[in-house]
């Protein structure tokens, strides 16, 4: 993305804010591009490092709404802050939450499946030698051990996937953290 495309997208996302505030924000991002160019970085690299301009605009609007609420608590400022945060979280609520619920549902189903396979393997291991199976008692013992081993491996894979999912959620939560803690408080 070029400098001009980034700034145009950011300006479009900031529509509805005070023109002086928009120009101040645009000037800040123009300064980022100037500093990056002075350091020898390309416009595309700088734009990628700054992030998605639409997302930045939503964050700036949300932060402005929160700041307005902190400075002058009123019902209209509270409504503006809530609307700004909902605009920022709309992607989370309508896109990511259903996907996350589906993934968690599948993982819970797999967890119960692993438990059932382990218990079935234990049953075959314990009672298989006493039932007339093809291959005799040794086959029943091996089949039982194989099912329990497969279930244990499945549980290990599910554990790794769960840890990865939690890490992704923590990473994503940190992206939103700067809205909850003002930048000045974070620097102190």
pTM: predicted TM-score of the whole model, two decimal places:
0.50
Averaged pLDDT score across all residues of the chain:
82
HSE (side-chain half, CA atoms, 13 Å) at 6: 23
Question: What does the DSSP assignment read for 87-114?
Answer: HHHHHIIIIIHHHHHHHHHHHHHHHHHH
pLDDT (tens digit per residue) in 19-57: 888 898 899 889 988 998 898 998 888 888 888 888 888
93 CB-near residues (< 8 Å, 6+ apart): 86
Question: What does the DSSP assignment read for 26-75?
Answer: HHHHHHHHHHHHHTT--HHHHHHHH--HHHHHHHHHHHHHHHHHHHS--H
As a whole number of Å, the CA-based R_g of the chain is 27
Closest CA to 124 of 94, 101, 151, 146: 146
pLDDT (tens digit per residue) in 55-108: 888 778 777 776 776 777 777 766 666 666 666 666 666 767 788 788 889 999
- Residue 132 burial by CB count (10 A; 0-12/13-18/19+): exposed, middle or buried? exposed
């Amino acid at each position: 993305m070029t400098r001009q495309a980034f700034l145009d997208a950011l300006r479009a996302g900031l529509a509805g804010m005070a023109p002086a505030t928009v120009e101040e924000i645009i000037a800040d991002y123009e300064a980022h591009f100037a500093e990056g160019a002075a350091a020898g970085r390309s416009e595309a690299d700088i734009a990628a490092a700054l992030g998605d301009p639409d997302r930045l605009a939503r964050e700036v609007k949300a932060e402005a709404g929160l700041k307005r609420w902190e400075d002058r608590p009123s019902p209209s400022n509270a409504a503006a802050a809530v609307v700004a945060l909902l605009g920022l979280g709309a992607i989370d609520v309508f896109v990511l939450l259903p996907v996350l619920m589906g993934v968690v549902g599948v993982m819970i189903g797999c967890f119960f499946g692993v438990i059932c396979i382990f218990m079935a393997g234990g049953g075959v291991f314990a009672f298989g030698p006493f039932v007339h199976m093809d291959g005799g008692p040794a086959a029943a013992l091996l089949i039982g051990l194989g099912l329990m081993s497969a279930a244990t491996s499945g549980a290990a894979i599910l554990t790794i996937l769960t840890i990865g999912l939690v890490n992704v959620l923590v990473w994503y939560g940190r992206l939103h953290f700067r809205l909850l803690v003002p930048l000045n408080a974070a620097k102190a």
